[in-house]
Amino acid sequence: MIDSRVFVEVTFGVTGTGRAGRLSRLPERVALSEIIASFADTAAAADPLNIPFALGESALQPVALPTRMLPNMLVIGRQLCGKTTALAAIGQAIMTRFGPDGAQITIIDPKTTLIGKIQGPHVRAYAYTADDIDTVIAELVAELQDRLPPAGLTQEELLNLKSWEGAHHFVLIDDEHELRPHNQTLKPAATAPLWGLIERSREVGLHVIASRLPGNWASQVVMNPLLQKLTGSRSPTLFMDNDPAAVKVYGRVAAQQLPPGRGLLVTTDGQIEGVLVGAPEGPR
């Protein structure tokens, strides 16, 4: 039997190999500021709607959300997996890519877990009570609906219609499962006003980034209208720490048990990238 401590040396002697290749691995932690600085040197940085927020495992390079083509995203994971940190990282990265006139952030935070983590003139509204959430979403939707073309236009009028002007609107929803659900009889779901706009996000400059616990994931994907709209619009999903037996990321591919901050970023085409979310700045 060969002692494991000399296995590599024995292998070298038998094969004639002089050196073993090194496998790159994600670090335990990486600052969001480092990711943003590294991303600034890439060609993708020319488009401000590419939002860098994580380090990718395949090449140890920054990973950005291409929100021009894929404007929305889901973040799914168990408690303490880093969902809130992911939203904070995305929010802070947005503020480095745009001035306040170019991007406005609406924070929906029913458990106040995002409080203080995204601050400044970019923040249009911060809402955590049911009534305030209803008001904030209704006001935003009214503004975005004005960006849609009015009814009754001819084809020529539509072709000559000027595009909307103003800021892109990023709606960050933490703990979506805590919001008023869709099966209530007295009021519609808290997110219901957004549903009709999600599949037209690119037309109106809307970006919904929502986090939630997996719950019964197979059932949630089918029964939750917000998740239906997001998946129907080909939104990427970041699967963080999950129960592999209960959550599938794509087809038969199972989610993973992961340390805080780690995740599998999955597109609806089945592309999967292991990522480490950048550590954002603390409350300011």
Q: What is the pLDDT of residues 149-169, one digit of tens each?
A: 989 999 998 888 888 899 999
Average pLDDT over residues 205-224: 92
Average pLDDT over residues 27-48: 96
Which structure tokens are listed for 242? 């999950």
Question: Taking 80 as the threshold, does the pLDDT of residue 93 lie above it?
Answer: yes
- Average pLDDT of the chain, as a whole number: 90
Model confidence over 112-122: pLDDT tens digits? 999 999 999 99
pLDDT at 251: 80
pLDDT at 183: 75
pLDDT at 25: 77
pLDDT at 50: 98
Question: Taking 50 as the threshold, does the pLDDT of residue 260 lie above it?
Answer: yes
Average pLDDT over residues 247-254: 87
With contact defined as beta carbons under 8 Å apart, do 192 and 138 qualify? no
Q: Quote the percentage of the chain above a pLDDT of 70.
A: 90
- From residue 151, give the alpha-carbon distance in Å to each of 10, 74, 146, 157, 202: 76, 32, 12, 11, 19
pLDDT at 111: 97
- From residue 193, give the alpha-carbon distance in Å to each of 25, 139, 144, 203, 228: 42, 10, 11, 16, 14
Question: Taking 80 as the threshold, does the pLDDT of residue 236 lie above it?
Answer: yes
pLDDT at 4: 47
Sorted by sequence, the CB contacts under 8 Å of residue 277 that are 6+ apart come out as 53, 54, 82, 85, 86, 89, 261, 262, 263
Question: Taking 80 as the threshold, does the pLDDT of residue 2 lie above it?
Answer: no
Model confidence over 10-22: pLDDT tens digits? 444 554 555 444 4
pLDDT at 82: 96
- From residue 136, give the alpha-carbon distance in Å to each of 27, 53, 109, 127, 207: 39, 26, 12, 7, 15
- Domains, the chain, ordered by start: 23-150+161-277 (3.40.50.300)
pLDDT at 24: 59
Question: Taking 50 as the threshold, does the pLDDT of residue 212 lie above it?
Answer: yes
Point out the least confidently predicted range of 59-73, 89-103, 151-165: 151-165
